[in-house]
Amino acid sequence: MEFNGKVVLISGATGGMGEEIAKLLSKEGCKLAFFSRREEKLKEISSRLSNDKTKCIFKKCDVKNIEEVKEAVEFTHKNFGRIDVAILTAGVLIPNPIQTFDSKIIKNSMEINFMGTVHFIESLLPIMKSQKSGTIVATSTLPDRRGVPGWGAYGASKAALSWLMESLRVEAKQRYNIDVITVKPGSVKTPMLEGYERHGAIPAKKAAEIIIGGIKKGKKVIQFPLGQVALIRMMDAFPLSAYDSMDIDQQKGDGYPSVEEE
């Protein structure tokens, strides 16, 4: 797929990967619509990336709020007349250690990472169905198959998302010619990982290049970086006894907040 002339909606456009994706697409001659909660930052990115070839619009949108998401999609459609690609990156990473296990953290993670994406998909589908074309790209995570100690809230929201996207992919294509793509990043240096040491983390710009390159090639699943893909998929195949004997602190990763024992 070529991006030139396409209308592209980006959620989480103020984030590490979202902004880098926006930067790359601003060189491709797209019509870009940016959404997230920080309006000032959206405004700054829009004015910086607008150029002769690229028109940018933006609107404040909390993905937890279904009405705001509907307005975001309508705003894009009204301004540009169609929506070719939606790149949904909005997300949060909140640890939930067993010592302070908290359903509010799980609810919030589900509402942003999972339902936030669902809200967009629901609003986008009628437009893309009537166009008989479109591409929906959602951002899950590389470790989306097995639980990771301390990261259950995040992992559950992303595993649910991977499942949903996998389910939608075949019917969306066969019935309406809509492409559904799941992005599964390993560690990427963005504000999300600030304070965490992740070995092999790649720069956000590199991640954006891989994502845009994967969409152009028509990939169904875009997972990276290669070394981490090999490691995580190998761990997916570990028998339970081997998986359960791994050191908990190593699994949680460097920088995981220490928690007082109750």
Ligand X SMILES: NC(=O)c1ccc[n+]([C@@H]2O[C@H](COP(=O)([O-])OP(=O)(O)OC[C@H]3O[C@@H](n4cnc5c(N)ncnc54)[C@H](OP(=O)(O)O)[C@@H]3O)[C@@H](O)[C@H]2O)c1
User: Which spans of this chain sit near ligand X (rule: CB under 6 A)?
Assistant: 12, 14-18, 36-38, 61-64, 89-93, 112, 116, 139, 141, 185, 187-188, 190-193
191 vs 218, beta carbon nearer ligand X:
191
Active-site residue, 196 included: no
Alpha-carbon radius of gyration of the chain: 18
- Quick one: tokens of 189? 């240096």
Closest CA to 114 of 73, 134, 144, 84: 144
Both tokens assigned to 176 = 């309406």
Pick 178 or 211: Cβ nearer ligand X: 211
Q: How far apart are CA 115 and CA 167, in angstroms?
A: 16
In the complex, the smallest distance separating the C-beta of residue 178 from ligand X, rounded to whole angstroms, is: 21
Task: Return the ∠ at Cα 12 (arms to 108 and 164), rounded to 5°.
Answer: 60
Minimum gap (Å) between residue 132 Cβ and ligand X: 28
What minimum distance in Å lies between the beta carbon of 241 and ligand X? 28
Q: Which residue is nearest to ligand X (CB)?
A: 15
Give whichever of 41 and 129 is closer to ligand X, judged by the CB atom: 41
The C-alpha atoms of residue 74 and residue 143 are separated, in whole angstroms, by: 34
Output the smallest distance, CB 240 to ligand X, in A: 25
Name the residue nearer to ligand X (CB basis): 14 or 182. 14
Going from the C-alpha of 193 to that of each of 14, 141, 260, the distances in angstroms are 15, 13, 22
CA atoms of 41 and 190, how far apart (whole Å): 16
Residues with a catalytic annotation lie at 154
